[in-house]
Amino acid sequence: MMNKFLSSFQKDFAKQLILLVFIEFLFFLISGVGYASISNAPYFNIGVDPLYWIFYGLCIPQTIMKYPILAVALDFATIGFLLLSLFKFNENWILCAVLLLMLYYITLSGYLGHRNYQSGFVWVLMPLMFKAEKNKILAFEMLRYWLLFFYASSAIFKVTGDGIINFNHLSSIFSQQFFPYYVEQNFGMRTTINSYLINHQKITQVFFWGAIILEMSTVIGFFTKKHDKLIGIFLIIFHLFNWLLMDISPIGQLSVLSTFFLIPFFEKKNKLIDK
């Protein structure tokens, strides 16, 4: 009876996670950066990641961009496998969805001409590919530590750089990030805030130090899981301010941050299985 309950609960959790990724992918499509929207792109940058080289060496992204009908088909295929996984959970559907999302992430990064580090929507479903319950849990634990390292290292880079004492550092980045808005004369709320911060460097520097504190909170997670929910909240706040002040959308990373809120579930499940 307990095993049946655990299995049912696990599937419900999986569906919630898949739904988050599905919503994020829909946001990509609505934002105009789906496969179909970026087809016939004239420029690609394969970056420095060897993983990219494999795909570009096989001319997979280039072929997708060359044939709009193929791009549209892949958009529908990605949606289809996510929906299949959502309504009828199956590790094979998850595997197909993850491969399509990975291909989309690599293609989008090449189209943008730079790395998009918000790749959490790809990795968050990978643990669900494993059939054994314990393997799923271990994979999510690994994903958790990867997230801790990702954000902690980002904070360390900020601390070791000159931005921590250079008050002109972040305000200069602000002016670059919103340059297209000024060219288009798009003077909305965020542009107004951006203009204010560019001209008030001391306040801008406070936000920079705040970003370091929010990211550095992940160091606590290497020693204890008691504060995982708080770490998750801090990182969501970090990404929301990134969107507000830097025009860097949090879409793509929010689903993977749910890992920090689900750790108590993993621990409880581990104890029940061990018994």
Say whether both 58 and 106 belong to one domain. Answer: yes
- How many domains, in total, are found in the chain? 2
pLDDT digits (tens, 9 = 90+) for 200-231: 778 888 888 888 899 999 999 999 888 888 99
Band of the pLDDT at 83, cuts 50, 70, 90?
A: very high
Say whether both 134 and 109 belong to one domain. Answer: no
Domain that holds residue 116: 16-129
Say whether both 114 and 249 belong to one domain. Answer: no
186 found inside a domain:
yes
Say whether both 121 and 151 belong to one domain. Answer: no
pLDDT digits (tens, 9 = 90+) for 102-158: 988 888 877 776 666 678 888 889 988 888 878 888 888 899 999 999 999 989 988
3-state secondary structure the chain: CHHHHHHHHHHHHHHHHHHHHHHHHHHHHHCCCCCCCCCCCCCCCCCCCHHHHHHHHCCHHHHHHHCHHHHHHHHHHHHHHHHHHHHCCCHHHHHHHHHHHHHHHHHHHHHHCCCCCCCHHHHCCHHHHCCCHHHHHHHHHHHHHHHHHHHHHHHHHHHHCHHHCCCHHHHHHHHHHCHHHHHCCCCCHHHHHHHHHHCCHHHHHHHHHHHHHHHHHHHHHHCCCCCHHHHHHHHHHHHHHHHHHHCCCCCCCHHHHCHHHHHHHHHHHHHHHHC
147 found inside a domain:
yes
